[in-house]
Amino acid sequence: MNIPPVVAAVDGSDDSLRALEWALDAARRRRAPLRVVHVRQYAAWAQPDILVAGPPDGDDDPVLDQVRIHLEGRTAGTAVEYVGLDGVPGAVLPELGSTAELLVLGSRGRGGFASLLLGSNGLAAARDAECPVVVVPRPGREVHGEAPAEPGPRVVVGLHVDSPDEATLAFAFPEAALRDARLQVVAAYPWPARTWMAPGELDPPAIDQAAVESETRALAEGFLAPHRTRHPEVRADPYADPYADPYADPYADPYVAPGDAAGHLVAASKDAELIVVGRHRRRLLAPARMMGSVTQAVLLHAASPVAVVPPSPPEE
């Protein structure tokens, strides 16, 4: 069985070299080949819609030469391919996902503004690629309101119980197994709940937070159950809001937390191996690929690498 490659997008920047390191480790864990790709944007201005493959061994590409030197003597047991392409990175990179196991890139490359937390190429790839996309941030991102976590490797996954997608959990559980890591599940519900009234309407009945929390927990447990069965070796830890009760055990039930899902995921990202979030499904009135506000916020602010998982194909 041929395993698709883990693709690392490089451009010579320190950000892309950090992504390359992450991709090499991911390829080793999966026993997959590593494909190192440099998209030469300078050759694309005359014909922006044409994708031209460079020499298969990356000759005459100084960026790939730099990567070869960087990886020299460190790829034993992993097949490595070097590919140079000409085109617009924001268009070419997502296309690489059609034949990849993973697409890995840094949060920013050489282009763009230094103040941006996430470059346009990373945003385009995370939004449009057909495979999961891992964005590796720069070190030193500060995370405020960090959630407590016991020592040891940890993968964090966001679970949206109102519109869950199996692809996100189907990626997170095996990833935790590959890393011999605990899986920390974050299922947040909006609180305080907002109710809207037309002029003259009676006040609606008060919403019981305990009931909302209980329902969210029940839904989360139902979605997790089949994945627990398939991956009994993965310890799926609950996540509790550390600010709701200062004396609460952060590893006991519930799996749910009130408030902003993005805030909880970012808080949980400190010292995590990976944050796993889903990408929005296409909708009838919005057929274009898109990312939700939670996924974008996590990409911008998480302290750990973030995997954006495309939704499962719609059933016939």
Looking at the fold, whether 102 and 66 belong to one and the same domain comes out as yes
Q: Which has the closest alpha carbon to 262: 181, 190, 167?
A: 190
Residue 27 belongs to domain spanning: 6-136
Please indicate whether residue 101 or residue 205 has the higher confidence score (pLDDT). Answer: 101
Region of poorest pLDDT, from 1-15, 92-106, 156-170, 262-276? 156-170
Residue 299, both tokens? 């990409």
Q: Model's pTM, two decimal places?
A: 0.82
Looking at the fold, whether 88 and 191 belong to one and the same domain comes out as no
Domain count, the chain: 2
Dist CA 48 CA 41 (whole Å): 9
Amino acid at 220: A
* Domain CATH number, residue 167: 3.40.50.12370
Looking at the fold, whether 120 and 162 belong to one and the same domain comes out as no
pLDDT for residue 190:
72
Block residue for tokens 């990202």: 269
* Final residue belonging to a domain, choices 136, 168, 199: 136
pLDDT(32) > 90: yes
Residue 169, H or E segment: helix 166-178
182 contacts: CB under 8 Å, gap ≥ 6: 152, 153, 154, 155, 176, 234, 235, 236, 237
Looking at the fold, whether 158 and 292 belong to one and the same domain comes out as yes
Give the number of other Cβ atoms within 10 Å of residue 211's Cβ: 9
pLDDT for residue 173:
95
pLDDT for residue 313:
72
Looking at the fold, whether 129 and 205 belong to one and the same domain comes out as no
128-143 in b/e burial notation, b at 16+ Cβ within 10 A?
bbbbbbbbbbeeebeb
pLDDT for residue 216:
80
pLDDT(58) > 70: no
Looking at the fold, whether 159 and 302 belong to one and the same domain comes out as yes
Q: Render 199-235 in DSSP notation, one character per residue.
A: TTPPPPPPP-HHHHHHHHHHHHHHHHHHHHHH-TTS-
Find the mean pLDDT for residues 268-278: 93
Looking at the fold, whether 301 and 166 belong to one and the same domain comes out as yes
Block residue for tokens 């014909």: 47
Dist CA 52 CA 63 (whole Å): 17
pLDDT for residue 191:
67
pLDDT(109) > 80: no
pLDDT confidence of 218, banded at 50, 70, 90? confident
146 contacts: CB under 8 Å, gap ≥ 6: 267, 268, 270
Answer yes or no: is 316 within a domain.
no
Find the mean pLDDT for residues 144-171: 81
Looking at the fold, whether 109 and 161 belong to one and the same domain comes out as no
pLDDT(265) > 70: yes
pLDDT for residue 314:
61
pLDDT(149) > 50: yes
pLDDT one-digit tens code per residue, 287-310: 445 567 889 899 989 999 999 999
Dist CA 126 CA 200 (whole Å): 46
Answer yes or no: is 142 within a domain.
no
Give the number of other Cβ atoms within 10 Å of residue 10's Cβ: 25
Residue 46, H or E segment: none
Looking at the fold, whether 196 and 276 belong to one and the same domain comes out as yes
pLDDT(246) > 70: no
What is residue 286's DSSP assignment?
B
pLDDT confidence of 154, banded at 50, 70, 90? very high
* Final residue belonging to a domain, choices 108, 136, 164: 136
pLDDT for residue 161:
81
What is residue 57's DSSP assignment?
T
* Domain CATH number, residue 48: 3.40.50.620
Dist CA 179 CA 26 (whole Å): 9
Block residue for tokens 């040891």: 152
Looking at the fold, whether 107 and 175 belong to one and the same domain comes out as no
